[in-house]
């Protein structure tokens, strides 16, 4: 069973079906999904199926997945951050998404650091990637702060006609965060 992770102002924990309203918002707010190739959820039922097919299935399949980011002060899910196996690049990706009202607060970097430790110390991963739409400069900056370096571009089925930037980062056993 996956455990919750303290990430400063956030608590990262596995999603559950009680998070449906927040998961739905994260998949329907236009600004939040602008660069990820998703079409907005058409219903809460569609969001629930996406949750079951996405993070909930990944927890069972890989032992890890995207984690709900809970703003500790309010107890609200305001985003997600975590690991996801990406078959298109045969690597584990660090990904994150926050509701726009929480952008610019350093939360993606804060949660990302916690996920780097989790990847190395719990899952014994030695490399992560980040996939970023070329227009998403904010996300590229976050990856840079986390020590990722650009390695090129790749095409993904779910973002047609736009190759995305591939960033990568090694996770040395002796590095402290």
Question: 71 Cβ partners below 8 Å, 6+ apart?
Answer: 9, 10, 77, 78, 102
**Complete DSSP assignment for 78-141:** EEEEEEEEETTTTEEEEEEEE-GGGTTSSHHHHHHHHHHHIIIIIT---EEEEEE-TT-HHHHH
In a domain, 177, yes or no: no
Q: Give residue-wise pLDDT tens across range 89-144.
A: 999 999 999 999 999 999 999 999 999 999 999 999 999 999 999 999 999 999 99
In a domain, 160, yes or no: yes
In a domain, 154, yes or no: yes
In a domain, 176, yes or no: no
Number of structural domains found in the chain: 1
Question: 56 Cβ partners below 8 Å, 6+ apart?
Answer: 15, 16, 17, 65
Q: Tell me the pLDDT band of 3, cut-offs 50, 70 and 90.
A: confident
Structural domain for 98, as ranges: 5-170
Specify the CATH number for the domain of residue 147: 3.40.630.30
- The pTM for the full model equals 0.93
Instruction: Report the pLDDT value the prediction gives residue 1, as an integer from 0 to 100.
Output: 62
């Amino acid at each position: 069973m996956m455990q919750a992770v303290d990430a400063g102002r956030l608590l990262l924990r596995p999603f559950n079906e009680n998070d449906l309203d927040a998961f739905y918002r994260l998949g329907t707010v236009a600004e939040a999904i602008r660069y990820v190739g998703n079409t907005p959820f058409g219903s809460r039922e569609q969001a629930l199926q996406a949750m079951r097919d996405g993070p909930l299935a990944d927890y069972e399949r890989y032992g890890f997945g995207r984690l709900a980011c809970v703003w500790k002060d309010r107890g609200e899910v305001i985003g997600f951050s975590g690991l996801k196996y990406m078959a298109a690049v045969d690597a584990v990706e660090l990904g994150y998404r926050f509701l726009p009202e929480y952008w610019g607060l350093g939360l993606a970097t804060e949660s990302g650091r916690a996920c780097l430790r989790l990847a190395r110390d719990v899952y014994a991963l030695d490399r992560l990637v980040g996939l970023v739409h070329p227009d998403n400069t904010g996300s590229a900056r976050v990856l840079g702060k986390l020590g990722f370096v650009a390695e090129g571009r790749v095409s993904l089925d779910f973002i047609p006609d736009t190759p995305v930037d591939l960033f990568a980062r090694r996770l040395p056993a002796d590095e402290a965060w």
